[in-house]
Amino acid sequence: MTRITADDIARMANVSRSTISRVVNDYPNVPEETRRRVMEIIQKTGYVPHQQARNLAGVQSRILLLFINNNNDYYADKIAGSTFFGPLTALLIDSANRRGYDIIVTQSSAPHSWERTRHLLFGRVASGAVFVGVANKDPRVRPFYPLPTVILDHKPMKGDPNGPVPSAVNFDNRGGMEWAVRHVLEKNCRKIAYITGNLGIYSGRERLTGFRQAMKRLDGAPLLEELIIQGDFSEQSGYIGAKALMETHQPDAVISGDDECAIGVLRALEELKVSVPGEVSVVGFDDIELSRYVKPSLSTISAPKRDIADKAVERLVDLVEGRQVQSSSIVIPTAFIPRES
């Protein structure tokens, strides 16, 4: 099955290949009659221009790369199965598609993933990339900064975003935490505990910082460092953390680094027959699907995945298409979602 090319179409339509190109690319200067005739032949033959060839000839590839840095202790299915990364991936793809771009997805757990990324990016198959879960100073990403690059969930870098500085897209983690603290204060909680997320991750650190700052700024209850327990965003860490907290300090509020953790907290409290929100208020972060269905339903901070995905892709496309952008940092607002807990 030898491919049918623009030359074939040209021959069939008794015009030159240039005219075919003009029709295909919607050039104005081609008579209606000719255009119609050519289009008809294209339809009938099912001709599709060879993308690689047009790319070579200067057309942008309209392919983006999504690189997900899953730590090696994650199985591949955990990542898209994750209540957060899975939907996020889908939304990024969706946003890109809506803009006429396609997305190649790669995970760092795959063999040679970084080398493959080099080939994809420098080899011009993808014209830009969004990285999630990587540190912006990671020496493996830095080489890509001259290309259109967006980093999700990492500290913004100073510098001209139109130059070799990646754009950072983040939730307003600190602002979100302030909502959480404000909420438990309004419920008259005084012994407010915090179970952190993974502090190796930017949002994990930011949320902790946000918690501390809010406690100080709102000044409605003492900030007790012994009530801050380290977790890792997992349900398990929430469960364990809550058990430990209840045994030692009996807080009247537990704020968690994310919803999964908070759900672990709820499970622990249920086992301990501690009433929520009667004796202890619980607040999560992310507003994952499940948080609506647990009992009691989880009060949380919304981290709208669709927004972050859309902004990330929008920025990347701006960069790819050479539009000037203002700042290297994009912040997605968060909001408090009051529920039973």
Partner DNA sequence: CTGTTAGCGCGTTCAT
Partner DNA sequence: ATGAACGCGCTAACAG
Q: Are 199 and 168 in contact (CB under 8 A)?
A: no
38 binds a copy of itself (CB under 8 A): no
80 binds a copy of itself (CB under 8 A): yes
β-bridge partners, 301: 336
Q: Are 288 and 259 in contact (CB under 8 A)?
A: yes
Q: Which is nearer to DNA, 27 or 75 (CB)?
A: 27
122 binds a copy of itself (CB under 8 A): yes
157 binds DNA (CB under 7 A): no
Q: In the stretch 57-86, what mask flags binding to DNA with x, by CB under 7 A?
A: xxx---------------------------
* Smallest distance, DNA to C-beta of residue 117, A: 17
- Candidates 17, 116, 140, 182; binder of a copy of itself (CB under 8 A) is 116
* Smallest distance, DNA to C-beta of residue 20, A: 7
24 binds DNA (CB under 7 A): yes
Query: How many other CB atoms are there within 10 angstroms of residue 276's CB atom?
Result: 19
296 binds a copy of itself (CB under 8 A): no
Which distant-in-sequence residues (6+ apart) come within 8 Å of 199 by Cβ? 205, 208, 230
Size of the site for a copy of itself (CB under 8 A): 55
71 binds a copy of itself (CB under 8 A): no
* Smallest distance, DNA to C-beta of residue 141, A: 23
120 binds a copy of itself (CB under 8 A): yes
| Continuous segment of H or E residues that includes residue 319 | helix 305-320
Give the angle 303-315-113 at the CA atoms, nearest 5°.
Answer: 85
Q: Which is nearer to DNA, 5 or 236 (CB)?
A: 5
Q: Which is nearer to a copy of itself, 75 or 222 (CB)?
A: 75
Burial of 7 (0-12, 13-18, 19+ CB in 10 A): exposed
Which distant-in-sequence residues (6+ apart) come within 8 Å of 238 by Cβ? 195, 231, 256, 260, 261, 262, 263, 264, 265, 267, 268
Measure the CA–CA gap between 332 and 4, rounded to whole angstroms. 47
- Candidates 25, 27, 105, 340; binder of a copy of itself (CB under 8 A) is 105
* Smallest distance, a copy of itself to C-beta of residue 275, A: 20
Q: Which is nearer to a copy of itself, 33 or 73 (CB)?
A: 73
Which distant-in-sequence residues (6+ apart) come within 8 Å of 144 by Cβ? 117, 121, 129, 166
269 residue type, one letter: L
- Candidates 123, 200, 222, 333; binder of a copy of itself (CB under 8 A) is 123
DSSP characters for 241-269? HHHHHHHHT--SEEEESSHHHHHHHHHHH
- Candidates 11, 12, 30, 238; binder of DNA (CB under 7 A) is 30
* Smallest distance, DNA to C-beta of residue 67, A: 22
Q: In the stretch 43-62, what mask flags binding to DNA with x, by CB under 7 A?
A: ----x-xx--xx-xxxx---
Q: Which is nearer to a copy of itself, 46 or 278 (CB)?
A: 46
Q: Which is nearer to DNA, 47 or 233 (CB)?
A: 47
Q: Which long-range contacts (CB under 8 A, 24 or more apart) does 212-218 make?
A: 213/174, 213/177, 213/178, 214/174, 214/177, 214/178, 214/180, 214/181, 214/182, 215/181, 217/178, 218/178, 218/181, 218/182, 218/185
24 binds a copy of itself (CB under 8 A): no
Q: Which residues bind DNA (CB under 7 A)?
A: 3, 5-7, 14-22, 24-25, 28-31, 34, 47, 49-50, 53-54, 56-59
